[in-house]
A and B are shown apart, each in its own frame.
Chain A
Amino acid sequence: MSARLTAREITLRYGERVVSTRLSLDVPDGAFTAIVGPNACGKSTLLRALVRLLRPESGHVELDGREVGGYASKALAKQLGFLPQDPLAPDDIKVRQLVSRGRFPHQSLLALWSAQDEEAVAEAMASAGVADLGDRPVQELSGGQRQRVWMAMVLAQRTPYLLLDEPTSFLDITHQYQLLGLLARLRDEGRTVIAVLHDINQACRYADHLVAMRDGRVVAEGVPKDVVDAALIKDVFELPSVIVPDPVTGTPMVVPTLQGE
């Protein structure tokens, strides 16, 4: 398993609050990695450190053996695409305009808009299923549509890496599976996908590599079939459960045994 993107013994903190201490992670190339864990376990913080939004207090995040902090902004943005949990749309922006913003790292003062940009935007909108929303104002869309528009923006960036912070929140169940299917397809096409996911069963079904976190530490990682058992779920989520094979895919499926309070 090769890994271009790695975290080596990173310590992460927000102000006084230490989130992770000496955490290490290799992100397997070309795979779908899902990060799971209870609320406030440091999943999002880890993701933000990987895309250089948060500088580790100590340790290194490296891409191709080079510290991400050493990359020029646009050079890094051509490698790592990131979708935060609550992205901010400017007032009155239309869908196509927002998706076009994903082309920013590929543009310069002398080359503001190219045929390649046009093509990337059209393709991204088709992939995310928002091709027919192009002229609609983003603020008039439903939460689910908006999420797919943002997804299209990140796709338009055409990065080998996609890092997504809870991309399925705000989506109804059908759109959740459509989005996960899209991510799996992008992985098949050679991209590396890293997503923080809330639903452990979805993570088991779609991820090649599962990273389970608790209290800022990586508790277990590996192929879901190998790492997910009742003991791990108890350890990570404090939830008693039985693990059965998913009737459709055969991947582990967590069925809580907890009833009532």
Chain B
Amino acid sequence: MNHTLGLRVERRTAVLVVVMVALMLCLALLGLCYGASWASPGKVFAVLTGAERSVVISDWRLPRVLAGLVFGAALGVAGALFQNLTRNPMGSPDVIGLDAGAYTGALIAITVLSGTSAQLATGSVLGGLLVAAAIYLLAFERGFSGLRLVVIGIAVNAMVTAVNSWIVLRAELEVAIAAVGWSAGSLNGVGWGDLGIPFAIIALLLILMTTRAHAMHQASLGDAVAATTGVALNRLRLLMVLVGVGCTATVTAVAGPIAFIALAAPQIGRRLAGAAGVPLLPAALTGAVLLQGADLLAQMLLAPVALPVGVVSTAIGGCYLIWLLTKEVRRA
């Protein structure tokens, strides 16, 4: 164990960080090269350093690649937060209906209001928070239970998804088509204009949560030990919910509800890091790699038709879910 800067860094976590960052850079480079026409890595570097100009690389591919990485990290962290809160690997925002709730908010912003990006963002955050509050109220009965919260969340997710279908059915045809194309979660057509505010919000939320990560890990010792070793549990939980919903809703506002990254990334990251509990950094890095990788696949599978990334992430997540369930069933 190294003790640098007063931080205890597990060697395996350090190795994982290096490997994951390298993987992220490779996938990012691939994302910049790949497209309707292949750009050589040399050309990409030339564009990045400003030696050459290419609108395709710097204004189309670069924002998309950055969105894949940053949104993936945000979803990974949101998943880790809710899995910590519920103490359950199934307790992630996409499973308990927060994505669906954020999407409802966004749908209302498009169909009822004019659908500007500010309305989309506000609608998504409000939708996510409302669903979180509803689940919390329904699940809170003489104390906090993670499993009850997950089960109620799954039911709420089904209901909110039904509401979303109803909104789409009632909408004008053009609006409905746009909404459906976006409903799977997609990075198609993401540009610089969509990213400034979301990136700032995500950065702020992640920095805020980093300062409380130590307390979050302490809380994984159970309520009694956490409280008697000095964790202010109620305040911590509120912050975790707000950051988790904030990350999920911000991504949903731009890219729609991208499923399964938040579910799978924290657990894959935790196993790779061999770390105790569900840590945030491996979840963020794995989320970034997963989403960027899934987006590349989405572009390549039926090229030149670009699939919504949510289709690919759902397929990856489905395999993961089957594996998780069989493993849990065997253990039980």
Kindly list chain A residues whose C-beta atoms are within 8 Å of the C-beta of B211. 109
B227 interface residue per 8 A CB criterion: yes
Kindly list chain A residues whose C-beta atoms are within 8 Å of the C-beta of B6. 110-114
A71 to B73, CA, bound (A): 37
Q: Quick one: which of B7, B227, B275 contacts A53, CB cutoff 8 A?
A: B227
Q: Taking beta carbons and an 8 Å cutoff, which residues of B are in contact with A?
A: 3, 6-8, 87, 142, 211, 214-215, 217-218, 220-225, 227-232, 270, 274-277
A157 to B221, CA, bound (A): 14
A204 interface residue per 8 A CB criterion: no
Q: Are A94 and B276 in contact (CB under 8 A)?
A: yes
A84 to B224, CA, bound (A): 7
Q: Quick one: which of A15, A76, A89 contacts B221, CB cutoff 8 A?
A: A89
Q: Can you report 11 residue pairs joining A to B where beta carbons are below 8 Å apart?
A: A78-B230, A83-B225, A87-B221, A87-B222, A88-B221, A88-B222, A89-B221, A90-B220, A93-B277, A97-B276, A107-B214
In the complex, what residue of chain B is closest to A112 when comparing beta carbons? B6
In the complex, what residue of chain B is closest to A74 when comparing beta carbons? B230
Among A98-106, A186-194, A212-220, A223-231, the stretch that binds chain B is A98-106
CB distance from B7 to the nearest CB of A (A): 6
CB distance from A42 to the nearest CB of B (A): 17
A75 to B221, CA, bound (A): 19
CB distance from B106 to the nearest CB of A (A): 35
Q: Are B224 and A53 in contact (CB under 8 A)?
A: yes
In the complex, what residue of chain A is closest to B275 when comparing beta carbons? A92
Interface size on A, residues (CB 8 A): 41
A104 to B225, CA, bound (A): 11
A111 to B5, CA, bound (A): 9
Binary B-proximity of A156-168 (CB < 8 A = 1, otherwise 0): 0100000000000
A90 to B217, CA, bound (A): 9
A114 to B221, CA, bound (A): 22
Kindly list chain A residues whose C-beta atoms are within 8 Å of the C-beta of B215. 104
Kindly list chain B residues whose C-beta atoms are within 8 Å of the C-beta of A76. 228, 230
Q: Are B7 and A113 in contact (CB under 8 A)?
A: yes
Kindly list chain B residues whose C-beta atoms are within 8 Å of the C-beta of A97. 276
A97 to B317, CA, bound (A): 31
